[in-house]
Amino acid sequence: MTLTAERLRTWRRAATSIVGLLIFYELVARSGYFPAVLLPPLGKVALTLWTTVTDGTMLHHAAATLYRVLAGMTLAVIVAVPLGVLMARYKSVENFCLPLASALMPIPSLAWVPVFILWFGLGNTVAILIVFYAATFPILLNTWSGVRAVNPLWLRAAGAMGANGQSLFWKVMIPAASPFIITGIRQAFLRAWIAVIGAEFLAASDWGLGWVIFDAKEFLNADLMLASLAVIGVIGFLFERLFFGSIEKATVMRWGMVRAAKS
């Protein structure tokens, strides 16, 4: 099967799942079990989405939220990946960092929002730091686990063929640990969205999808709330399919670290 045919089949399956969910929602919305103001039909949600996209407001809110997610995620990757490698390679670093990670990770990121507001005020800083906090630990622990799971035989074989420390790190250790690292970044991305929407409920002043949802709730604008949720879902879907999927194909699948599932 060609790569294009495989991609088309993947997108067709995804479309089938999404269409099935939309049909189910429409049936429930038109059943009369819920008031239309609380569960509007898809037509009204689509009209609200189209109106807010064409006038630019939804795009501005989405851009603000995406900026906060990407900024916090970038900081988390910069800090967590090297630290996870150091934890796996040096026992002293592991002994110091692992208890801290074990103690801090169970604390919900949203629990820090009031504290961060006191420290940093309202706006982007709080939201970015909340995303950074939420995203750091999945990346850190997955990187640590991935480097520790590298087969020692691979390292010895590469060393016997003359590979030095730098070559072992970049050509053996990182490729072998990459499935764990990518999984950690995927998990972090999901946690980042949960964190940023919650932070925008409380800390964002006027912009962001979380702020839109929270503000619309006050006026029972369920169609605007659902339109904002649809935008979040579309962004997450595109990142999963286009960004993470491309990274996985260019790294772990290309290197033979994982195999694609067979239908």
- The CATH topology of domain 42-250 is MetI-like fold (1.10.3720)
Q: What span, in angstroms and rounded, lies between the C-alpha atoms of 115 and 104?
A: 15
Residue at 149: amino acid letter: A
Contact call for residues 75 and 132 (beta carbons, < 8 A) = yes
- pTM tops 0.85, yes or no: no
Helix axes 57-89, 209-218, angle to 10 degrees: 130
The tens digit of pLDDT for each residue in 163-202 reads: 555 666 656 677 777 888 888 998 898 899 989 988 888 8
Q: Which long-range contacts (CB under 8 A, 24 or more apart) does 44-50 make?
A: 44/223, 45/223, 45/226, 45/227, 45/230, 47/223, 48/223, 48/224, 48/226, 48/227, 49/227, 49/230, 49/231
Query: Where are the domains positioned within the chain?
Result: 1-33, 42-250
pLDDT tens string, the chain, 263 residues long: the values are 454 666 677 667 777 878 888 888 778 878 777 777 778 888 888 999 999 999 989 999 999 999 999 999 999 999 999 999 888 888 899 899 889 988 888 888 888 888 888 888 877 888 899 999 999 999 999 998 888 877 666 555 655 555 555 666 656 677 777 888 888 998 898 899 989 988 888 876 678 888 888 888 878 888 899 999 999 988 888 887 777 666 666 555 555 555 543 44
Chain length of the chain: 263
Q: What span, in angstroms and rounded, lies between the C-alpha atoms of 21 and 44?
A: 17
The tens digit of pLDDT for each residue in 241-251 reads: 777 666 666 55
Q: What span, in angstroms and rounded, lies between the C-alpha atoms of 49 and 226?
A: 9
| DSSP-assigned letters across all residues of 146-204 | HHHTS-HHHHHHHHHTT--HHHHIIIIIHHHHHHHHHHHHHHHHHHHHHHHHHHHHHT-
